[in-house]
């Protein structure tokens, strides 16, 4: 069965509708990504406070070193532990950012796939109707 101009017009309209829905979905996903980025900014801000506090602790340790030269080995142990804590915090921050990034990407992909599946199913149904001789564009205002 050959497609007529009306068939092509109808298909073009369906594709335009689908493009509009996809654009809307992309806009919503962009907005959600902004929220995730905002959350990451909050996490970074909190970690900045932790780093600032750790900087204060390091400064106090330096003062203790200058006043108590006899306890260098103990101070060295404290510094080592602080570096470990700082390293662990950095690792946790990195892992959290990675998880949030992957989650955002997965949510976006899932949403897009879900919408595409709906669109494909809708088009498939319309194509089956066309193949059966139905003309679904009849009665639809152009």
* C-beta pairs of 46-54 under 8 Å, 24+ apart in sequence: 47/89, 47/93, 50/89, 51/86, 51/89, 54/82, 54/85, 54/86
pTM: 0.32
pLDDT reported for residue 100: 86
Quote the CA–CA distance of 39 and 93 in Å, as a whole number: 12
Q: How many CB atoms lie within 10 A of CB 10?
A: 20
pLDDT reported for residue 22: 93
Residue range 82-110: mean pLDDT, rounded: 84
Model confidence band, residue 92 (pLDDT cutoffs 50, 70, 90): confident
What are the boundaries of each domain within the chain? 27-131
Model confidence band, residue 139 (pLDDT cutoffs 50, 70, 90): low
């Amino acid at each position: 069965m050959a497609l007529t101009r009306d068939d092509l017009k109808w298909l073009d309209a369906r594709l335009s509708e689908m493009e509009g829905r996809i654009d809307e979905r992309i806009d919503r996903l962009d907005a959600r990504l902004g929220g995730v980025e905002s959350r990451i900014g909050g996490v970074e801000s909190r970690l900045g406070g932790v780093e600032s506090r750790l900087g204060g602790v390091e400064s106090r340790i330096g003062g203790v070193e200058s006043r108590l030269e006899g306890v260098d080995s103990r101070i060295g142990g404290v510094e080592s532990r602080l570096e470990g804590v700082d390293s662990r915090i950095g690792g946790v921050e990195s892992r959290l950012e990675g998880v949030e990034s992957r989650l955002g990407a997965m949510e976006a992909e899932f949403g897009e796939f879900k919408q595409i599946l709906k669109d494909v199913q809708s088009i498939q149904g319309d194509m089956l109707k066309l193949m059966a001789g139905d003309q679904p564009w009849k009665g639809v205002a152009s």
